[in-house]
Amino acid sequence: MKTVMLLLCAVLAGAIAEPEADPKVYTKPSYSKTKDDYCHPRKAPMCSKNGTLSFCLEDTEYPAKKVKSTIEYDPLALKKYADVIDQSADNLVDGLTSLSEDHFDYPDYNGKAFEKSNWAGDEGYICPSDVLYTHPLRAVNTDGEWRVIVQDIAWPGYTQTQRIETCLFAGASCRTISPCYGSKCLQKYVYQRMLSFDPCDPEKGIFVDIYKLPSACSCRVSRKLK
């Protein structure tokens, strides 16, 4: 009886230590909110230039600490997607080198159908475009909501590279095509999936979201004018 009483006293006094926490177990990050933390997912961030851009390649407000904290809670998140870092015309455009693509220039092109300068010119695409192999930091998803894209600014060594090709003169006539064909340069898009973070709802963690990004500028010939 005496032994039982002593054991009970030891328990009440905290003499029996609890097992130590496993240092490998990650604790979920806490996000304290105040009345000044109002956030709307459809509100364009500063980097989008008042909503005129659908994606940002630079972002002075990128929440690197919050993204990093969320990744540390879910270390397997980055294994959901892998990146091909070395992307260029060398491996994505048949018959063209990255050096040639970088030197494409269209100083005489103005997009006017009856301008002689549009029927000739140096090496380049029929529809002039701006080609970038880059790492988007924010973008509008297919639901019209802004998301933060996970990049190495938050986690060193992890990137999500995209090839983005934007028409320089969307809707203009095509280069080297006679105006009698009624040609027009059209912007094309492609859906891309990227690991993302919702700054308006950090509790979602890291997840895959879908974005529509400009992928090509193509020439469409509608008809031959009489």
pLDDT tens digits along 68-79: 999 998 878 888
What does the alpha-carbon distance between residue 183 and residue 211 come to, in Å, rounded to a whole number?
Answer: 29
For residue 148, the domain's CATH number is 2.10.90.10
Handedness of CA 125, 128, 134, 140 (dihedral sign): negative
Instruction: Give residue 91's domain range.
Output: 55-221
Location of structure tokens 């998301």 = 147
Structural domain total, the chain: 1
Closest CA to 175 of 224, 89, 83, 110: 110
pTM of the shown model: 0.80
The answer to the question of residue 17 being in a domain is no
Question: Alpha carbon of 121 to those of 46, 101, 110, 161: distances in Å?
Answer: 38, 15, 12, 31
Summarize pLDDT for 135-194 with one digit per residue, the tens. Answer: 999 999 999 999 999 999 999 999 999 999 999 999 999 998 888 888 999 999 999 999
The answer to the question of residue 41 being in a domain is no
Q: What is the pLDDT of residue 71?
A: 94
